[in-house]
Structure 1
C-alpha cells in the first residue's frame, strides 16, 4: 500500500475519533499516538496494521512510557488494528498487557489468582496479579523461562528493583511476593526459603484522607444548576454518593431495575468486591434520581440510569472516571482550592458519608456493612476523621506531676 493511501486511512481514523466529543487535550494525545502508529507502518513497510502488528508496536513503544500513557497508546494501536481487520471504526475498551509473558507463566499466574480468589476480593487479586506479572516478566528478561529454575537471588533482585516504586506500599509488594512463593512451594515447583527477604519492615501506616465539611458540601451543591439536564444528572449522582456512600464504579453501573421504588431500596452488585448490597433509599436520593429519569434522561432502551449527555455519539452509561472531572469543575466554581493528593476527589463524598454515620453514633460494624467494606479495618479509618469524638477519648493529664529533665 502506498504511503498516500495509508495516510488516508489514518486521516479517517483521526476524523472518526474527533467525533467522539473528547476534550482537546485528550484528542491531541490520541492524534500523536495515531501518528506514531502511522510512522511505524511506514518504517516497517506495512500495507495493513493487524493485531499482531499492534502487539509488536506496543511491546516496543509502551515499555518506555508511564502506565497511563501506555494504556492510551495501546488503545489507539488496537483501535487501528480493528479498523484494518474489520473495515470499520470501533471505539471500545481494550485489554492490554504491559508485561507480556510466555504461555507457561500465564497458566502459572492464572493458577495463583484462582488460589487468591478463595480468600480475597477480585479487586485485591487484580492488584496482586499485576505485581506477579511484573515478576514473571522480570524472570523472562533474566533468561529464567521456568519457575522451577528461579533462585532466591531472583526474588531479592526483583524486590530491590521495585522498591523505589513502592515507597508507600512496600508491605503490599512483600506480602504478594511471599504469597506467590508459598503458592509455588505448595505446588511442588520450588523449595525456596526466601521468607527472610520478604518480612515486613514494620506495620504500614495508613493515611486518613479528609472528607468534605458541611460548608464544602453546601457550596458544591449550590453550583449545580438543576434546571438543566446535566445539572439534574450531576446532582443525582453526587447526592447518591454523599447520602448512601456508593463508589463511582457502582453508581455508573446502576440500572433502572436496581431501584425498588415501592420498597424504597436500591440493590448494588459492588464492582470492587463482587458482593451484593441492598440499602435503604433516602427520600432526597430517590427524588433526585426520579427527577433526572423523568425530566432529563432521554428515552432509550439502555438499562443504565446515568447516561452521557445527548450530544454523545452513542447512548452509553457515564464512565466513573468522568465523575472526578465533574466534581473538579464544581469545586472551581465554588472557590474551593484543590491540590494534588489532598483527598478532594469524588471518593471524598463516600468518605464524607461514612464519617457522618460515625459522627451520628452509628456503630462501626453497621458503617462497614452499609459501605460494603470487606473488612472492618477499612471502616475504622473513618473514626480518625471524627475529631470531636476523639477528644472525648483523650485522658486528662492535668493531675499528673511532671517535671522537665535534661541530660546530665
Structure 2
C-alpha cells in the first residue's frame, strides 16, 4: 500500500492526460481537501476511517457528496484497498477469477469445504452454474450484486474476503436485522438470502442445481427451535391436512419466529402477551383483512399447541381476537368499457398474459387451474377443456372457444420456450428455469393498472375480477343460476350468493319505498311522541 501523497500524485498525473483543464483543476481541489483531512486525522495511508470521514464531509450538499465519493473511488482503485462506501458496498469490487482459474482451484478441494477459501472462487463458480440453468442476465446481475454485498460484509467484519460458514450465518443474521428495522426492502432481503443459500450449497457440494428456496430456510438453525418446528409439522401431518394447509401453517410458524425475534427455546418459553400483540400487529401491516383473519386463526391454534406441549409458560392464545370479516360482500367486476381497455392492453402484451387472462375472462377458470393447465387437458378436436379443479377436486368441462383457443395456440407456437424434457404444463416462466407459473395475480394487476381500467364496486386487481366479470356477463344475458354454478365449478349452491350483488335490476325490484320516512302517521298528544 502506498502513502496518500504518492497515491494522489499518481492519480493527478493520470487525470491530467484524460480530463479538460477546468475539470482537472476541480478534481485537484477535491484531492487536496482529502490530503488535508488525512493530515488532520494523522493518517498517512488510505483507510476506511479516512474514507468515511471524507464522504460525510459534504456540508449537506448532494453535489459535494457525489464528488467526494467519485474522488474516493479513484483513490481506492489506485491504492487497491477495496474500501467500502457509506452504504456498505465496494468502491471498486475485487476482480473475480476466471472460470478456468476457479475450476482449477476447486478441483483440489474436498467437499464440503471445511476451511477458508477465497469467496471470489465460489462466486465465480456460482455465476457459472446460474448461467448454466439459463437465468436471465438481470437475475444473474441481482445474484452477483448480492454476493458482492456479502463480500463487502466479510471485509467489514473480518478484514478479508475469505469464505466461511460462520461468515454466511452472521451475514444472514445482519440481513434479517436490517429487514426487521426497515433498513432494506423486502426484495433486497430475499435476494441476499437466496444468494447466500446458493453460495453455501456450492461450498458444500461444488455446484448449484436449481430448486425453490424458502426465504425462511435458515431461520431456525440455532437455539433448538428446529426441533419444535419438526414436532409441529409432524402433528399437522398426523391430522392428515393437505400440503397447502401445512405450508401455510409452516409460514405462520416461521414468520412468528422472525417477527418476534425468538432465537431460542428459552425465548419461546418466556413469550409474553405483549410480544404476541407485537407479532399480530406486524402481521396486520403485511396482510389484508381477510388474510389476517386466516393468519390470526392459525396463530391462535399454534399458541395453544405450544402451551399444551410445554413450550410456553402460559396459554397465550386468548390474547388474540380474530378481525371481523363481512361475508356478504359486494363483488367487483369490469364493466364493458373497462373490459375493452384491458383487452386492448392484452392485445399488445405478451401472448402468455393474453391467453391466461382470456381463460379467466371468457371461461371463468380459477387462477390455480390456469397455472396448472396441461396439454392433455385440452381437447383441440372436440373444442373442450377438461380439468380436475385444484380447489374442489371435482372434474370440470368447459368449451374451448375460438378466441381462447387461438390465444393459447399463438402462445404455444410463437412464445412458449422449449424445454428438455418437455414440460406437460402449458404456461411456463418466460425466463429460465422454465417451471410452470405459480400464480396469476401479478399479470392481472399489471393488465388492470397499465390499461387504466376502473373496477366496479371494489379495488381488487387479481384474476377473480376477470372470473367475476364473466359471471356478470352471464347474469346480463339472464343465464340460469344453475348454469352459472356449473360453469364456475362450484359444488355448494351457497357459493353463488355473493353474486346477487351484481344483479342490479333484480335488487331494484326488491328495494323498499322510502317516501314515508319522516312523515307522521299517528294522532294523539305528547304521550304518542
Give TM-score, length-normalised by structure 2: 0.57
**Among candidates 227, 252, 259, match of residue 104 of structure 1:** 227
* CA deviation profile, 1:63-99 (whole Å, cap 9, x unmatched): 4325444322222212223344444465542123164
**Per the alignment, in what secondary structure is the counterpart of residue 319 of structure 2?**
coil
Summarize the alignment of residues 19-38 of structure 1 with structure 2, pairs less than 5 Å apart: 20-21=135-136, 29-38=142-151
CA spacing shift, 1:218–1:204, aligned 2, 3 Å: closer
Distance 1:62 1:137 in 2: 8
How many pairs does the alignment contain?
385
Are 1:59 and 2:181 counterparts?
A: no
CA spacing shift, 1:56–1:351, aligned 2, 3 Å: farther
Which residue of structure 1 aligns with residue 355 of structure 2?
236
**Among candidates 52, 70, 77, match of residue 196 of structure 2:** 77
* CA deviation profile, 1:321-347 (whole Å, cap 9, x unmatched): 677348626853x45479xx9323444
**Per the alignment, in what secondary structure is the counterpart of residue 278 of structure 1?**
strand
Which residue of structure 1 aligns with residue 370 of structure 2?
251
Residue 242 of structure 1 contacts residue 349 of structure 1 at CA under 8 Å; is this kept in 2?
yes
User: Per-residue deviation at 1:34?
Assistant: 2.1
User: Per-residue deviation at 1:358?
Assistant: 5.1
Are 1:289 and 2:396 counterparts?
A: no
Q: Which has the larger radius of gyration?
A: 2
Residue segments in structure 1 that go unaligned for 5+ positions in a row: none
Distance 1:220 1:84 in 2: 48
Distance 1:336 1:209 in 2: 16
Distance 1:237 1:375 in 2: 26
Distance 1:55 1:371 in 2: 48
Which residue of structure 1 aligns with residue 42 of structure 2?
none
**Range with greater deviation from structure 2 (174-183 or 6-15):** 6-15
Distance 1:276 1:41 in 2: 54
Distance 1:254 1:203 in 2: 32
**Per the alignment, in what secondary structure is the counterpart of residue 141 of structure 1?**
coil
Distance 1:10 1:323 in 2: 34
Distance 1:374 1:258 in 2: 21
Are 1:353 and 2:353 counterparts?
A: no
Distance 2:210 2:164 in 1: 16
Residue 225 of structure 2 contacts residue 263 of structure 2 at CA under 8 Å; is this kept in 1?
no
CA spacing shift, 1:138–1:31, aligned 2, 3 Å: closer
**Range with greater deviation from structure 2 (97-106 or 369-378):** 369-378
Residue 265 of structure 1 contacts residue 280 of structure 1 at CA under 8 Å; is this kept in 2?
yes
Distance 2:345 2:260 in 1: 53
Summarize the alignment of residues 159-170 of structure 1 with structure 2, pairs less than 5 Å apart: 159-166=277-284, 168=289
User: Per-residue deviation at 1:382?
Assistant: 4.1
Are 1:39 and 2:148 counterparts?
A: no
**Per the alignment, in what secondary structure is the counterpart of residue 280 of structure 1?**
strand
CA spacing shift, 1:342–1:69, aligned 2, 3 Å: farther
Are 1:304 and 2:425 counterparts?
A: yes
Distance 1:72 1:267 in 2: 38
Residue 156 of structure 1 contacts residue 197 of structure 1 at CA under 8 Å; is this kept in 2?
no
CA spacing shift, 1:172–1:102, aligned 2, 3 Å: same
User: Per-residue deviation at 1:35?
Assistant: 1.9
Are 1:130 and 2:251 counterparts?
A: yes
Which residue of structure 1 aligns with residue 518 of structure 2?
402
User: Per-residue deviation at 1:245?
Assistant: 2.6
Distance 1:331 1:138 in 2: 32
**Per the alignment, in what secondary structure is the counterpart of residue 304 of structure 1?**
coil
**Range with greater deviation from structure 2 (183-192 or 162-171):** 183-192
CA spacing shift, 1:132–1:366, aligned 2, 3 Å: farther
Query: Aligned Cα RMSD in Å?
Result: 4.5
Which residue of structure 2 aligns with residue 176 of structure 1?
298
* CA deviation profile, 1:327-385 (whole Å, cap 9, x unmatched): 626853x45479xx932344432332344445555676775665466977765444434
Give TM-score, length-normalised by structure 1: 0.71
Q: Name the structure, 1 or 2, with higher relative contact order (CA <8 Å, separation 6+).
A: 1
Distance 1:364 1:57 in 2: 58
Distance 1:49 1:211 in 2: 54
Residue 236 of structure 1 contacts residue 292 of structure 1 at CA under 8 Å; is this kept in 2?
yes
CA spacing shift, 1:222–1:203, aligned 2, 3 Å: closer
Residue 485 of structure 2 contacts residue 496 of structure 2 at CA under 8 Å; is this kept in 1?
yes
* CA deviation profile, 1:207-231 (whole Å, cap 9, x unmatched): 65632222222233234458xxx75
